[in-house]
Amino acid sequence: MLDNNFSIGIIGLGTVGTATIKLLEKEIDSINSKSGKKIIIKAISSKNFSKKRDIDLTKYEWEDNPEKLSIRDDIDAVVELIGGSDGIAKNLAYSAIKNEKHFITANKALIAKHGYDLHKSILGTNISIYYEAAVAGAIPIINSIKNGLISNNILGIEAILNGTCNYIMSDMTNNETSFKESLKKAQELGFAEADPSFDIEGIDSGHKLVILGMLAYGAKPDLAKIYIEGITSITPEDIKYATRLGFVIKLFCIAKQEKNKLDFRVHPSLIPLNALPASINGALNAVFIDGNYSNKITFIGEGAGADPTASSVVSDIINAARNHKLKNNLSFLNQKLEYKDIIDRIGRYYIRFVVQDVAGVLANITTILNKKNISLDSVVQDRNKGEDFNNIIVLTHETNELDIINAIIGIGNLDTVLIKPQLIRVENI
């Protein structure tokens, strides 16, 4: 028997918003049974009511001003699905909290920028903020870190968090296409936006990573303090040589705590072919969490799309209804940790040099590397028939990033080196 109603207001009726309403309508009996309450869509709001949608919205009360939904007495939870880190989304979040409404969102930019402060603002209240849909689509990674793995100290998180980039890297690898060709395919298939810069420059992954880091380590998200590098510089040559050396290239996200420093990074990485992340292809997402008691746990699934995202939104609605009067436990908040600079990384590196086809080039390169105490694991010298340039690829042993950067600067100044050397980090999985 349902004990009472749980009323929600939904703001944003784009792809995810309409998919959320469809899911609620289709599965309402099951949803009500699981939540123990009768969930009611009390009102909706968006920029344009008359916009053509493949769903009947006339049965719901329309609110022209979305912020009014956060102050109405007949609404228990605000569901924000409009996006953006500031503006209306931010105002809705704080207004909902001020007026003792649960706040549910799929907005990774908002949580990445304001999530820490939003959590602080609900201390001592009986309301919560929910954002399962903000990271990795249908994968229940937020709840897993907050609740399922709460007995563990998180030793590290490794992840593939952007389906657009993973599709592009997979397509370049499997079909020997260029970055531009694979990006075009991704756009045609709906995996990439018309303006894909947010994805391919690594910003989307950065937002998601700092959210996971906030939960795992209590770290206040700060995109300006973490290293973010996208995939736009990756070439078919890099794909080819990585494969020859026993690796694939992925846009990889890393979050670790080393004493009182946080090592958070997003960048292309060489992943060993025999490691599980190397097998995550297409638009899939994957999160690998290492707990001190759980050991490494793997989550794989669809990280974007209307239905997977709506699935997580509705899960949050159910949990909000279940925990309507549950007191918050926000002990994970920790302001004592500092972010580690990428320059302090210790690891292996792939470097590709495009050089003139003349004698002594390799010797000059290795001399500079040796002066920086950089030892080599393997060297590939690939002569291009009919061309006046060669590719020289080196794979280093473990070394310091600062030494690598200084060596590359020195090598890049050689007259025989034709373009800026390509540097890709190797992750030992």
Residues annotated as catalytic are: 208
Size of the chain in residues? 429
Q: Which residues of 364-393 are buried (b: 16+ CB within 10 A; e: fewer)?
A: bbbebbeebebeeeeeeeeeeeeeebbbbb
Q: Is 119 helix (H, G, I), strand (E, B) or coil?
A: helix
Distance CA 410, CA 402 (A): 12
Residue 67 identity (one-letter amino acid): E
Distance CA 114, CA 131 (A): 12
Q: Which two tokens stand for residue 414?
A: 């050689």
Q: Which two tokens stand for residue 77?
A: 């939870």
Find, among 202, 219, 292, 203, the residue nearest to 261 by Cα.
219
Distance CA 162, CA 204 (A): 7
Which helix (DSSP H) or strand (DSSP E) does residue 295 occupy? strand 295-302
Question: Longest C-alpha distance within the chain, in Å?
Answer: 84
Residue 417 has what DSSP assignment?
B
Instruction: Kindly give, in sequence order, each residue whose CB lies less than 8 Å from that of residue 238, ignoring residues fewer than 6 positions away.
Output: 249, 350, 352, 422, 424
Find, among 311, 257, 250, 248, the residue nearest to 286 by Cα.
250
Q: What region does 391 belong to: left with phi over 0, alpha with psi -120 to 50, or beta?
A: beta
Do the beta carbons of residue 253 and residue 333 sit within 8 Å? no
